[in-house]
Amino acid sequence: MTGETSAPPPTGEPPRNGEELTEAEANARLRTLSRRGFAVAGAAALGTLLGWRWLLRQATREDDLAWPLRRALQTNREISEALFSPRRLAPTSSREAVGVLRPNGTIGLKDADFRLEGWRLQAEGLAGGAASFSLAELQALPHVEMTTEFKCIEGWSTVAHWAGVRLADFARAHPPPTRSGRRFDLERPDDAPPYLSLETPDGEYYVGLDTASALHPQTLLAWALNGEPLSEEHGAPLRLVIPVKYGIKNLKRIGTLAWTTRQPADYWAELGYDWFAGL
């Protein structure tokens, strides 16, 4: 993470639109946001609060980048978020390249009372209210297969073949609410809530995703790995596969999925890993 190195530039004119914040308040707010690990989102939020003109007027002293952005760009995480494009695909491989995916991480998989047969996906924050789905109902949606590299933040990676439904297709079938009040449209992701939260049935493991990444065409609710139904250790009956993110975001054994306007809690982000965790 970045230190509090650079002093803010001299106070410019007060913001002309948005909320009236002094530079000191803005600084304090940015620091809080950065500490939580989403400086780019923070800079954007501040930009909205203060008005882009104010933000861009700060673009003088530090390498010609507005200082909030400059700070934001000081860690890898912010760079990957800034470079993220919903249209850029993670590389795919041929099935011959598939390796043996090692099971890693059992948080949220240890509940002795968990029964596969009784499992349903709980979906919250849908336009129509909460709903739940059996695996068969999810498997009736259009589904896809893909062979992508799975990367753990610990440094290993393995090519794996997945089958499941695109989260985007699930969202099309069971839409989130929109700001405009119109039916959710994949072409207008900004109209949907900005975050998706996922957690295991026991709530022990949980991840937060930005909506652009959640709706990325390679983000799957997956039920099969290398041609076999998921084993328990790989997250049966349904897991998230999101090749534009590190392994930590690929939550196994999804219990609940929820659209939300607040940045969701995230297990590893709380322990100091980058919230965005993009590749």
Ligand X SMILES: Nc1nc2c(c(=O)[nH]1)N[C@H]1C(S)=C(S)[C@@H](COP(=O)(O)O)O[C@H]1N2
- Residues of this chain that bind ligand X (CB under 6 A): 101-109, 152, 200, 205, 234, 247-248, 250-253
Examine residue 107 and tell whether it contacts Mo ion (CB under 5 A): no
* Contact of residue 107 among ligand X, Mo ion, none (CB under 5-8 Å per partner type): ligand X
* Contact of residue 250 among Mo ion, ligand X, none (CB under 5-8 Å per partner type): ligand X
* Contact string 134-163 vs Mo ion (x = CB under 5 A): ------------------x-----------
Q: Rounded to whole angstroms, how far apart are CA atoms 244 and 158?
A: 14
* Residues 89 and 218 sit within 8 Å (Cβ to Cβ): yes
Examine residue 278 and tell whether it contacts Mo ion (CB under 5 A): no
Q: Which residues between 235 and 264 bind Mo ion (CB under 5 A)? A: 247
The residue number with the shortest CB distance to ligand X is 105
User: Encoding tokens for residue 173?
Assistant: 């079938």
Q: How far is the CB of 140 from ligand X (least distance, A)?
A: 25
Please, which residue, 48 or 106, has the CB nearer to ligand X?
A: 106
Q: Sheet containing 131-133: give its strands across.
A: 131-133, 121-124, 256-260, 195-199, 206-210
Q: How far is the CB of 103 from ligand X (least distance, A)?
A: 4
Q: Rounded to whole angstroms, how far apart are CA atoms 199 and 264?
A: 10
* Residues 247 and 152 sit within 8 Å (Cβ to Cβ): yes
Q: How far is the CB of 255 from ligand X (least distance, A)?
A: 9
Q: How far is the CB of 215 from ligand X (least distance, A)?
A: 20
* Contact of residue 234 among Mo ion, ligand X, none (CB under 5-8 Å per partner type): ligand X
Helix, strand or coil, per DSSP, at residue 132: strand
Nearest to 144 by CA among 177, 116, 170: 170
Q: How far is CA 122 from CA 138, 183, 208, 238, 268, in A?
A: 12, 21, 16, 12, 22
Q: How far is the CB of 115 from Mo ion (least distance, A)?
A: 26
Interface positions with Mo ion (CB under 5 A): 152, 247
